[in-house]
Structure 1
Amino acid sequence: MNPEEVPQLIAQIALADPRVKRENEFERRAQVLMWAGILADVPYDYAIKAAHEHYAQSVWPILPADIATRWTATVRDRMNRHTDPTPLADPEDEAAWRAELLATRTAVITGQTAPAPLLELTAAPEAEVQERLNRNGQYMPTRIGEQIAQYRPVRAERERLARAGQPDPLDVRCDWCRAPAGEPCRQGKNLARRRSSHPSRIEAAAARQNQEPTP
Structure 2
Amino acid sequence: MMVEEVAALLAYAVRLDPRLAPTDQAEADERLDQWADLLADVPTTAPHPDGRDWHAGHVVRHHIATSPYRIQPSDVSRPWHAFKADVLGRHTDPVPPVNPDDHRAYRAVLADTRQAIATGQAAPSVYRELTGGSTRDERNEFAAARLAALGVEYMPRAVADALADFRKTRAERERRAAANLPDPLDVTCPYVTCRARPGQPCQQGGKRRTDRTIPHPSRLDLATAQHYAPKEPAA
TM-score by length of 1: 0.52
| Alignment partner of 2:79 out of 51, 70, 89 | 70
3-state SS of paired residue (1:43): coil
Q: Does 1:113 align with 2:193?
A: no
Q: Does 1:90 align with 2:93?
A: no
Question: Offset at 1:41?
Answer: 0.9
Q: Distance in 2 between matches of 1:115 and 1:6?
A: 29
1:203 maps to none
Question: Offset at 1:5?
Answer: 1.9
Q: Which has the higher contact order (CA 8 A, sep 6+)?
A: 2
Q: Does 1:137 align with 2:221?
A: no
Q: How has the CA–CA distance of structure 1 residues 114 and 68 changed in structure 2, closer, same or farther, with 3 Å as cutoff?
A: same
Q: Does 1:7 align with 2:7?
A: yes
Contact 1:10 / 1:21 at 8 angstroms: preserved in 2? Answer: no
Q: What is the RMSD computed on CA atoms of the aligned residues? A: 3.0
Q: Distance in 1 between matches of 2:110 and 2:124?
A: 15
Q: Does 1:43 align with 2:43?
A: yes
Q: Distance in 2 between matches of 1:118 and 1:135?
A: 24
- Identity across matched positions, percent: 32
Q: Distance in 1 between matches of 2:23 and 2:32?
A: 12
3-state SS of paired residue (2:57): helix
Q: Does 1:28 align with 2:108?
A: no
Question: Offset at 1:23?
Answer: 2.5
- What is the count of residue pairs matched by the alignment? 134
> Which AA in structure 1 matches 2:86?
D
Q: Distance in 1 between matches of 2:44 and 2:215?
A: 45
Question: Offset at 1:95?
Answer: 4.7
Q: How has the CA–CA distance of structure 1 residues 135 and 91 changed in structure 2, closer, same or farther, with 3 Å as cutoff?
A: closer
1:145-164 matches, within 5 Å, as none
> Which AA in structure 1 matches 2:126?
A
- Structure 2 stretches of 5 or more lacking a match? 46-54, 131-171, 177-181, 185-213, 222-235
Flag the structure with larger Rg: 2
Question: Offset at 1:53?
Answer: 2.3
- Structure 1 stretches of 5 or more lacking a match? 121-126, 141-215
Q: How has the CA–CA distance of structure 1 residues 115 and 60 changed in structure 2, closer, same or farther, with 3 Å as cutoff?
A: farther
Question: Offset at 1:89?
Answer: 1.3
Q: Distance in 1 between matches of 2:92 and 2:128?
A: 5
3-state SS of paired residue (1:55): helix
Q: Distance in 2 between matches of 1:95 and 1:30?
A: 44
Question: Offset at 1:96?
Answer: 3.2
Question: Offset at 1:27?
Answer: 1.7
Q: Distance in 2 between matches of 1:47 and 1:27?
A: 22
3-state SS of paired residue (2:99): coil
Deviations 1:105-155 (A, max 9, x none): 2443316424423657xxxxxx868x9684573678xxxxxxxxxxxxxxx
1:55 maps to 64
Which structure has greater helix proportion?
1
2:135 maps to none
> Which AA in structure 1 matches 2:99?
D
